Structure 1
Amino acid sequence: MTTRSRTARLLPSLIAAAALAALAGTASGAPHPKPKPHAAARKPAAAAELSTTTDANGNAVPVLANKAWVLMDFNTGQILGGSNADEPLPPASLTKMMTSYLVEQGLKSGKLKPTEPVTMSQSAWCEGGKHGDSCMFVPLNTQASLMDMLRGVVVDSGNDSAKALAEHLSGSESAFAAQMNAEAAHLGMTHTHFENSTGLPDPSHKASARDLAVLAAAIIRNSGEYYPIYAEREFTYNGIKQGNRNELLYTDPTVDGLKTGHTDEAGYCMTVSAKRGNMRLISVIMNADSKQARADQTRVLFNWGYANFEEATPVQAGATLSTAKVHYGVLPTVAAGPAQALTLVVPKGQAATIQTTVTLNPNLEAPIAKGAVIGKVVATAGGKPVGEAPVVALAAVERAGFFQRIGQRISGWFSK
């Protein structure tokens, strides 16, 4: 038999095998399979084709194909770059960061216990995927521990676990949404309004990229022992193993959270944190075109941020920056300096050019308590302000006695 005839006989089998492989790749027998890691050496095309534009401050920032993005430095809260950062947009499952954050704060305060049972009610249950395809798949009218439900929200992105936790904490999802909005206001999320615990579409349910970065920073800063859950790659409950949808957890060892989201209205969204050395950055992508696009754009932002910025600490905590004159005190002056170190993020190469200027409040009078704010220090780099911090009294100054104050007043008359 010729090679050509053998190939002709094998062709139908090859076509059938290819079809079966394609079907296997799209089968839904195991909900939400773990995303396949990309090769470590693989670099997205966007990383090699980075284009930039100039922002309002004259800085070059990346151009990305989405509706909004922001890159924040965690330690300082500085925004390194962004586009439409304050535009309220549908956040999809990035909403669940607030749901999980409220649960974590309840655990930290002791109001909630890790092992306490949470019931899967009729309204929260994922009957036939009625809440979308993001489910933890807790059976109706059964209970799961609060910690399992929390993992169901963070790792599985479960709409059912998010609703069940909302009902458990506040009695109803609407009451929980009010709690979410109160916490958003407390955190300074000024362009955000929540209507539910899941991020399922609602015309009034919106959040901005900057606000979501603020929320992510609060989780990292305040959730303590519960933050590592955001880095867990998979979670198995009721015999169903589900993979974390944050594919950067599989490709970038510096990434340790936080959340992805998608609806038709919101597009593909992603909030991610990465720490390289002592510098942690938080990236938010909103309304990208695909899972691959949101991941590639996040990589672009991290590579851009770490390549172009560095942290600097021009002022150390407790350092004496100036001496303030004090009227009517047992001492005529008090040392002034910052209670906390002033840490800034500046373009690489500018750390050595940072200069500081101290401004003290005029006419300071005793008594002055140690730690009382008596001025501020402003840091500039390249002639532009890059940060400031309050300056405090580094020691207490008691008020002088009556006759000593009279003497100081008379002395002041002759010194003018």
Structure 2
Amino acid sequence: MKKPMSALFASIALCSSATAFALVTPNPPALNAKGYVLMDYQSGSVIVGGNQDAALAPASLTKLMTAYVVGKEIETGRTTWDSKVDVSENAWSVKFPDSSKMFIKPGDNVTVADLMRGLIIQSGNDSAVALAEHVAGTESGFVALMNQWAANLGMTSTQFINSHGLDGQGIHTTPNDMAILMRHIIEDVPDVYKLYSEKRFVWADIKQYNRNRLLWDNSLNVDGGKTGYTSEAGYSLVSSATQGQMRLISVVMGTPSAQTRVEASRQLLNYGFRFYETDQLAESDATEVTAKVWKGASSAIPLGFEQDVYATYLRGNSRGVSKEVEVFAPLVAPINQGDIIGSVTWKVGNDEIATEPLVAKSSVEQGSIFKRAWDTVVLWFKSLFTDAKDLWEQ
């Protein structure tokens, strides 16, 4: 695309009332944790955070990434839920004394589905190693995949050193990175996320229960999450819950007890649902604005978004949402579908709640020589006598 000569801002009020309402909201809960964050799933907005970017030991929260990588391998067809895994000496449950395990042993022939339940429900360190070796041949090879995926997902402050999360030199993550990971598990590998809601699993005649106690909490609709504990990390919990169309993700890391991590997570989720709401501001398949195109085979082009747009804000503020549309002007052909040629910003009062690039929803080729010559002359005259708005409005 040509470098834009100018940009036009159009402010559009989305409400009939110009009155600004001052909403009184209680302070977020004070939590006894090394770090925590509450994130909205749809918008990705952080509602509450405390030391959310602190580098902390992840413990078994690591297994969220282990499960994610396996889920992506299933998605690509390199393994399946029914694939059989031969358990090695490295994955033997006796290798993990005094820690959570599924109780598999060398020579066992276990499906990926059963190992995933052992990983997610029983938090099995043994099942983590078995899955890692199945996917990558060695645990170290699998850890390389884990770190590559962390980088791809934008988890910029995370480093894994094993597939299970036991303490070791260099292992670290942050509450914010864990929220990002859980968001991608829900969105990218929904069949994996379904396992996080299962409350119990039996293997080797041993019934074990999901350590996420919020699954039994009738006051919240928690449908998934992962616990973690080591002496270095403390007690941690990642959880996700829904209320109506809203989904929240809470991450609490480094609390002093298992009960504290549950109470802290409950407080975060209740606070978010009580005082915040999430709305869809735009749909990816809709046309936001139709803009004028110069020197093209077509004189207009629809502009919209590559993805649905959501925003999270204080309840009751929806009456005060406004938006500003910026379109580069003049738009000169050729224009390719997907080109970024503007943006839309939504605000509540002076506070920005969302910004999304405007992209071309179709392509426009160059027009004829006569069309290009004529538009060149018209553009020159318009630049002298007209407002920039006339350069892009259809």
TM bucket normalised to smaller: 0.7 to 0.9
SS of the residue aligned with 2:196?
helix
Counterpart-to-counterpart distance in 2, 1:270 and 1:115: 29
Counterpart-to-counterpart distance in 2, 1:394 and 1:98: 35
Counterpart-to-counterpart distance in 2, 1:277 and 1:73: 13
The residue that corresponds to 1:330 in the other structure is 297
Contact 2:36/2:252 (8 A) holds in 1: yes
The residue that corresponds to 2:108 in the other structure is 142
Structure possessing the higher relative contact order (Cα contacts under 8 Å, 6 or more residues apart): 2
TM-score by length of 2: 0.86
Q: Quick check: 373-382 or 308-317, which moved more? A: 308-317
Task: Tell me which of 114, 138, 159 is aligned to 1:172.
Answer: 138
The residue that corresponds to 2:367 in the other structure is 400
The residue that corresponds to 2:159 in the other structure is 193
- Change in Cα spacing, 1:260 to 1:345, as seen in structure 2 (3 Å) is same
After superposition, give the CA deviation of every residue in 1:107-166 in whole Å (9 maximum; x if it has no partner): 122111222222222222121x63432010012332211111111100000011111111
After superposition, give the CA deviation of every residue in 1:188-224 in whole Å (9 maximum; x if it has no partner): 1001000000110112011111111111111111112
**Paired residue type of 2:196:** Y
The residue that corresponds to 1:119 in the other structure is 86
Contact 1:259/1:271 (8 A) holds in 2: yes
Q: 1:394 deviation in Å?
A: 4.2
Q: 1:317 deviation in Å?
A: 4.1
The residue that corresponds to 2:19 in the other structure is none
Q: Quick check: 154-163 or 250-259, which moved more? A: 250-259
Q: For 1:21-170, what aligned pairs fall within 5 Å after superposition?
A: 60-127=27-94, 130-170=96-136
SS of the residue aligned with 1:62?
coil
SS of the residue aligned with 1:326?
strand
**Paired residue type of 1:233:** K
**Paired residue type of 1:171:** G
TM-score by length of 1: 0.82
Q: 1:371 deviation in Å?
A: 4.2
Q: 1:409 deviation in Å?
A: 1.9
Counterpart-to-counterpart distance in 2, 1:175 and 1:282: 30
Contact 1:120/1:160 (8 A) holds in 2: no
Q: 1:175 deviation in Å?
A: 1.5
Unaligned runs of 5+ in 1: 1-57
The residue that corresponds to 2:257 in the other structure is 290
The residue that corresponds to 1:363 in the other structure is 330
Contact 1:321/1:358 (8 A) holds in 2: no
Percent identical: 39
Counterpart-to-counterpart distance in 1, 2:286 and 2:126: 52
Would you say 1:389 and 2:356 are equivalent positions? Answer: yes
The residue that corresponds to 1:10 in the other structure is none
Counterpart-to-counterpart distance in 2, 1:330 and 1:140: 68
The residue that corresponds to 1:16 in the other structure is none
Contact 1:131/1:160 (8 A) holds in 2: no
Contact 1:327/1:365 (8 A) holds in 2: yes
Pick the structure with greater CA Rg. Answer: 1
Q: For 1:140-289, what aligned pairs fall within 5 Å after superposition?
A: 140-252=106-218, 254-289=221-256
Counterpart-to-counterpart distance in 2, 1:124 and 1:321: 54
**Paired residue type of 1:105:** K
Q: 1:267 deviation in Å?
A: 0.4
Counterpart-to-counterpart distance in 1, 2:236 and 2:310: 30
Contact 2:68/2:192 (8 A) holds in 1: no
Counterpart-to-counterpart distance in 2, 1:413 and 1:376: 25
Contact 1:93/1:200 (8 A) holds in 2: yes
- Change in Cα spacing, 1:110 to 1:333, as seen in structure 2 (3 Å) is closer
After superposition, give the CA deviation of every residue in 1:379-407 in whole Å (9 maximum; x if it has no partner): 11121111111112345433210022112
Contact 1:66/1:288 (8 A) holds in 2: yes
Counterpart-to-counterpart distance in 2, 1:273 and 1:292: 17
- Change in Cα spacing, 1:297 to 1:414, as seen in structure 2 (3 Å) is closer
**Paired residue type of 1:392:** V
**Paired residue type of 2:78:** K
Q: Quick check: 327-336 or 248-257, which moved more? A: 327-336
- Change in Cα spacing, 1:361 to 1:240, as seen in structure 2 (3 Å) is same
- Change in Cα spacing, 1:388 to 1:401, as seen in structure 2 (3 Å) is same
Contact 1:61/1:82 (8 A) holds in 2: no
Would you say 1:375 and 2:342 are equivalent positions? Answer: yes
**Paired residue type of 2:250:** S
- Change in Cα spacing, 1:314 to 1:224, as seen in structure 2 (3 Å) is closer
Contact 1:378/1:389 (8 A) holds in 2: yes
The residue that corresponds to 1:53 in the other structure is none
Task: Give the number of aligned pairs.
Answer: 358
Q: Quick check: 385-394 or 184-193, which moved more? A: 385-394
